[in-house]
C-alpha cells in the first residue's frame, strides 16, 4: 500500500511536468470558442491522468478538435482531481459503464484490461471507441489504422449513424516504423523488413519516466537505484524490452511489429523480424529499419519519396553527421527519417537501410488516435 501511494505520488508529481493541460489564459478562452461546437461530437477521454491521456488533451487542443462536450475519465483513485483544459476546469470522474451515456467518441488509453472490459460497453451504447491498447488490434473486423497508411480500413465508420464501433490504434513502434516504410513499400513493395528499436521510458507510461529520473539521480549520488517499474537498472543502461517473452523467443512488443505490419499492409506474405530494446531516453522512440524490396529502389529516389510523404520529415545530412534524434522529435507530430542508404549486403538496389525517430506518445499514440477521430466527424 505504501509502495502504491509512493507510486501515485511520483506519477502525479511527474505528470505535472509533462506538457499537458495548459494553464487557463485569455488565449485558451478564445480557442475554446473555436473548439466547443454545438454540432461537434461528445468526447470521452479514458485514462486521462496517464501519459497518453494527458497527450490526448494537448493534441485535441493543438488541432482545434471540434467537440460539444468532453468527459475526463480515470480510475477511482483519480476521481475528483481537477484538470484545466482549454480555459475550463474539469473534474476527473471514475470510469463506470454509465460514463458512456451520450458519448460519440471514446478515446481509450487505460490499459488492455480496461479496454476489454469497457470498450464493448461503450460500443453497445453507440460510441465509436478509438483504443490505444493491444486488446482489439488483431481481432478480425476491427480496423487497425494509421491515417497516413490505411485510412480505407475504417471506411464507412462515422459518428451520427447511431452505430458504435471499435477502431484500434497500432502499437507505437509499428506506427513510427510504417509511417516511414509505407511510402517506400508503395513504390517498390517490401518483401522483408528487419527492425531494431531503441525505445524510450515514456512508452511504459508516466511512472516509468519518473523512475528514469529518480534512478539517474540515485546513480549519480552513488545510491542503489530504485527498481519498481522495471526489474533492473534503467539509468545508464539498456535492456531487452520489458514485454513478456514468448515461447518462440520473441517478446510481445516484437511480435506486435510482425503481426500488425501484416494486418495494416493487408499482406500476409511480408516477412518481418524485430528486436526491441528499452533505452534510457525520456521520450520518443528510435528504430533502425532494413528493407528488402521486390522492385529496385535507389537511395536518391527513396529520399525524394520520403521528402514528399505525409507525416515524414527527412533529416539526412551526411557531411555534418546530422540525422534524426529522439530529442529532436519529442513533442513533434512528424516522424523523422535519416541514414537513408543502400544496403551493401544486397545486390543492386533491392535493399535500403533507414533510421527513424518518432514521438511515440504523440504520433505513436495520442495524435494517431485523434487523427482517426477527425476522420469520424
Ligand X SMILES: NC(=O)c1ccc[n+]([C@@H]2O[C@H](COP(=O)([O-])OP(=O)(O)OC[C@H]3O[C@@H](n4cnc5c(N)ncnc54)[C@H](OP(=O)(O)O)[C@@H]3O)[C@@H](O)[C@H]2O)c1
Instruction: List the one residue from 37, 75, 191, 288 that touches ligand X (CB under 6 A).
Output: 75
Instruction: List the one residue from 40, 205, 311, 351 that touches ligand X (CB under 6 A).
Output: 205
Instruction: List the one residue from 44, 178, 188, 206 that touches ligand X (CB under 6 A).
Output: 206
Q: Is 106 near ligand X (CB under 6 A)? A: no
Dist CA 115 CA 113 (whole Å): 5
Of the pair 17, 271, the CB lying nearest ligand X is at: 17
Instruction: List the one residue from 133, 173, 261, 371 that touches ligand X (CB under 6 A).
Output: 133
**Nearest position to ligand X, beta carbon:** 50
Q: Is 119 near ligand X (CB under 6 A)? A: no
Closest approach, Cβ 220 to ligand X, in A, equals: 25
User: What's the sign of the alpha-carbon dihedral 139, 140, 146, 149?
Assistant: positive
Of the pair 46, 184, the CB lying nearest ligand X is at: 46
Q: Is 203 near ligand X (CB under 6 A)? A: yes
Closest approach, Cβ 350 to ligand X, in A, equals: 33
Instruction: List the one residue from 49, 150, 174, 215 that touches ligand X (CB under 6 A).
Output: 49
Active site residues: 172, 285
Among the candidate windows 205-213, 226-234, 247-255, 261-269, which touches ligand X by CB under 6 A? 205-213
Instruction: List the one residue from 21, 60, 74, 305 that touches ligand X (CB under 6 A).
Output: 74
Of the pair 274, 352, the CB lying nearest ligand X is at: 274
Q: Are 181 and 289 in contact (CB under 8 A)?
A: yes
Residue 235: alpha-carbon gap to chain centroid? 23
Dist CA 148 CA 97 (whole Å): 33
Site for ligand X in 310-339 (CB under 6 A): none
Instruction: List the one residue from 43, 110, 201, 257 that touches ligand X (CB under 6 A).
Output: 110
- In the shown chain, the binding pattern of residues 347 to 366 toward ligand X, with x for contact by CB under 6 A and - for none, equals -------------xx--xx-
Of the pair 44, 352, the CB lying nearest ligand X is at: 44
Which residues would be at the binding site for ligand X (CB under 6 A)? Answer: 47-53, 74-75, 77-78, 95, 109-112, 114, 132-133, 172, 202-203, 205-207, 360-361, 364-365
Amino acid at each position: 500500500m505504501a509502495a502504491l501511494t509512493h507510486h501515485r505520488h511520483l506519477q502525479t508529481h511527474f505528470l505535472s511536468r509533462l506538457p499537458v493541460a495548459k494553464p487557463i489564459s485569455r488565449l485558451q478562452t478564445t480557442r475554446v470558442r473555436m473548439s466547443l461546437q454545438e454540432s461537434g461530437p461528445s468526447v470521452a477521454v479514458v485514462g486521462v491522468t496517464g501519459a497518453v491521456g494527458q497527450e490526448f488533451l494537448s493534441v485535441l487542443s493543438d488541432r482545434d478538435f471540434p467537440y460539444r462536450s468532453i468527459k475526463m475519465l480515470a480510475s477511482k483513485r483519480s476521481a475528483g482531481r481537477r484538470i484545466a483544459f482549454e480555459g475550463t476546469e474539469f473534474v476527473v470522474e471514475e470510469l463506470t459503464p454509465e460514463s458512456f451515456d451520450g458519448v460519440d467518441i471514446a478515446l481509450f488509453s487505460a490499459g488492455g484490461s480496461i479496454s476489454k472490459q469497457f470498450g464493448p460497453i461503450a460500443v453497445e451504447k453507440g460510441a465509436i471507441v478509438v483504443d490505444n491498447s493491444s486488446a482489439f488490434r488483431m481481432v478480425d473486423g476491427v480496423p487497425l489504422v494509421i491515417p497516413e497508411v490505411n485510412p480505407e480500413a475504417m471506411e464507412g465508420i462515422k459518428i451520427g449513424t447511431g452505430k458504435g464501433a471499435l477502431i484500434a490504434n497500432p502499437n507505437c513502434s509499428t506506427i513510427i516504423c510504417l509511417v516511414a516504410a509505407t511510402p517506400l513499400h508503395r513504390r517498390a513493395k517490401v518483401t522483408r523488413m528487419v527492425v531494431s528499436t531503441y525505445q524510450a521510458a515514456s512508452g511504459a507510461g508516466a511512472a516509468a519516466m519518473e523512475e528514469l529520473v529518480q534512478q539517474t539521480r540515485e546513480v549519480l549520488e552513488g545510491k542503489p537505484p530504485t527498481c519498481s517499474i522495471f526489474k533492473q537498472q534503467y539509468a545508464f543502461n539498456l535492456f531487452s524490452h520489458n514485454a513478456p517473452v514468448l515461447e518462440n523467443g520473441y517478446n510481445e512488443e516484437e511480435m506486435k511489429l510482425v503481426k500488425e505490419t501484416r494486418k495494416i499492409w493487408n499482406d500476409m506474405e511480408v516477412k518481418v523480424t524485430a528486436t526491441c530494446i528499452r533505452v534510457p531516453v525520456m521520450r520518443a522512440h528510435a528504430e533502425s529499419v532494413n528493407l528488402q524490396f521486390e522492385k529496385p529502389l535507389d537511395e536518391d529516389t527513396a529520399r525524394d519519396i520520403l521528402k514528399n510523404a505525409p507525416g515524414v520529415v527527412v533529416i539526412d545530412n551526411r557531411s555534418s553527421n546530422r540525422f534524426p534524434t529522439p530529442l529532436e522529435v519529442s513533442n513533434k507530430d512528424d516522424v523523422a527519417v535519416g541514414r537513408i542508404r543502400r544496403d551493401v549486403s544486397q545486390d543492386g538496389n533491392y535493399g535500403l537501410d533507414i533510421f527513424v525517430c518518432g514521438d511515440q506518445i504523440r504520433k505513436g499514440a495520442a495524435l494517431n488516435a485523434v487523427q482517426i477521430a477527425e476522420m469520424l466527424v
